[in-house]
Chain A
Amino acid sequence: MPTLTYRDALNQALREEMQRDPDVFLMGEEVGVYQGAYKVSRGLLDEFGPMRVVDTPITELGFAGVGVGAAMVGLRPVIEFMTWNFALLAIDQLVNSAAKMRYMSGGQVGMPAVFRGPGGAALQLGAQHSQAFESYYAHIPGLKVVMPATPADAKGLLKSAIRDDNPVVFIEGEMLYNLKGDVPDGEHLVPLGQAEVKRPGGHATVICHSKTVAVALKAAEQLAGEGIEAEVVDLRTIRPLDTETILASVTKTNRCVVAEEGWPFAGVGAQVVDTIQREAFDALDAPILRVTGADVPMPYNKVLERAAKVDPAKVAAAVKQVLYLE
Chain B
Amino acid sequence: MATNVVMEALSPTMEEGRLVEWKKQEGEAVAVGDVIAEVETDKAVMELVARAGGTLLKQVVTAGATVPVSQLVAVIGEPGEAVSASAAPAPKASATPAPDAQSSQPSPDRNRSESMPPAPAAPQASEPAGRPRAPGPTATPGGNGQPAPSGGRVKASPLAKRMAADRGIDLAGISGSGPEGRVVARDLAQAGARQTAAPGAARAPAPSPALAGVTGPAYTDTPLTQIRKTIAKRLSQSIGPIPTFYLTTEVDMERAWEAREALLESAKGTEGAPKVSFNDLIIKATALALRQHPACNAWWQDDRIRYWNEVHISMAVAIEDGLITPVIRHADRKSLRDISAEARDLAGRARERRLAPEEYTGGTFSISNLGMLDIDEFTAVINPPEAGILAIGRIVPKPVAHDGAVQLRRRMRITMSCDHRVIDGATGARFLQTLTGMLENPLRMVY
Chain A residues in the interface with B (C-beta under 8 A)? 254, 281-286, 321, 324-326
User: Contact: A324 with B159, CB < 8 Å?
Assistant: no
C-alpha gap A281/B162 in the complex (Å): 10
B326 interface residue per 8 A CB criterion: no
B160 interface residue per 8 A CB criterion: yes
Q: Which of B50-89 contact A (CB under 8 A)?
A: none
C-alpha gap A171/B162 in the complex (Å): 40
User: Contact: B157 with A284, CB < 8 Å?
Assistant: yes
C-alpha gap A312/B186 in the complex (Å): 26
User: Contact: A281 with B142, CB < 8 Å?
Assistant: no
C-alpha gap A326/B138 in the complex (Å): 11
C-alpha gap A214/B188 in the complex (Å): 35
**B157 touches which of A285, A321, A325 (Cβ 8 Å):** A285
Interface centre among A254, A282, A324, A326 (most CB of B within 10 A): A324
C-alpha gap A28/B157 in the complex (Å): 51
User: Contact: A285 with B142, CB < 8 Å?
Assistant: no
**A286 touches which of B140, B142, B162, B178 (Cβ 8 Å):** B178
Q: A321-B141, A324-B184 are in contact. Are A283 and B158 (CB under 8 A)?
A: yes
B297 interface residue per 8 A CB criterion: no
CB-CB < 8 A to B161: which residues of A?
A: 282
B108 interface residue per 8 A CB criterion: no
CB-CB < 8 A to B348: which residues of A?
A: none
User: Contact: B140 with A285, CB < 8 Å?
Assistant: no
User: Contact: A324 with B158, CB < 8 Å?
Assistant: no
A-B contact pairs, 11 of them (CB 8 A): A254-B159, A282-B159, A282-B161, A283-B158, A284-B157, A285-B184, A286-B157, A286-B184, A324-B141, A324-B143, A326-B142
| Additional A-B contacts beyond A254-B159, A282-B159, A285-B158 (5; CB < 8 A) | A282-B162, A285-B185, A286-B157, A324-B184, A324-B186
CB-CB < 8 A to A282: which residues of B?
A: 158-159, 161-162
Smallest CB separation, A207 vs chain B (Å): 18
**Interface size for chain B: under 10, 10 to 19, 20 to 34, or 35 or more residues?**
10 to 19
User: Contact: A281 with B178, CB < 8 Å?
Assistant: no
CB-CB < 8 A to A286: which residues of B?
A: 157, 178, 184
Smallest CB separation, A55 vs chain B (Å): 51
**B160 touches which of A281, A285, A325, A326 (Cβ 8 Å):** A285
CB-CB < 8 A to A284: which residues of B?
A: 157-159
C-alpha gap A37/B88 in the complex (Å): 79
CB-CB < 8 A to B140: which residues of A?
A: 321, 326
Smallest CB separation, B312 vs chain A (Å): 34
Chain B residues in the interface with A (C-beta under 8 A)? 140-143, 157-162, 177-179, 184-186
**B159 touches which of A285, A325, A326 (Cβ 8 Å):** A285
C-alpha gap A321/B142 in the complex (Å): 8
Chain A's closest residue to B187 (CB) is A324
Sorted nearest first, the 9 A-B pairs with minimum C-beta distance are A285-B159, A285-B157, A285-B185, A324-B143, A282-B162, A282-B158, A284-B158, A254-B159, A281-B158
CB-CB < 8 A to B184: which residues of A?
A: 285-286, 324
CB-CB < 8 A to A281: which residues of B?
A: 158
CB-CB < 8 A to B179: which residues of A?
A: 324
Chain B's closest residue to A254 (CB) is B159
Q: A321-B141, A324-B143, A324-B178 are in contact. Are A283 and B159 (CB under 8 A)?
A: yes
Chain B's closest residue to A324 (CB) is B143
Chain A's closest residue to B188 (CB) is A285
Smallest CB separation, B140 vs chain A (Å): 6
C-alpha gap A321/B179 in the complex (Å): 10
Chain A's closest residue to B183 (CB) is A285
CB-CB < 8 A to A325: which residues of B?
A: 143
Smallest CB separation, A279 vs chain B (Å): 12
Smallest CB separation, B31 vs chain A (Å): 42
CB-CB < 8 A to A326: which residues of B?
A: 140-142
Smallest CB separation, B158 vs chain A (Å): 5
C-alpha gap A178/B23 in the complex (Å): 87
Chain B's closest residue to A320 (CB) is B140
Smallest CB separation, B161 vs chain A (Å): 8
Chain A's closest residue to B178 (CB) is A324
C-alpha gap A321/B139 in the complex (Å): 10
CB-CB < 8 A to B143: which residues of A?
A: 324-325
CB-CB < 8 A to B158: which residues of A?
A: 281-285
Interface centre among A254, A282, A285, A326 (most CB of B within 10 A): A285
User: Contact: B160 with A324, CB < 8 Å?
Assistant: no
CB-CB < 8 A to B186: which residues of A?
A: 324
Smallest CB separation, A293 vs chain B (Å): 18
Chain B's closest residue to A321 (CB) is B141
C-alpha gap A324/B161 in the complex (Å): 17
C-alpha gap A286/B155 in the complex (Å): 12
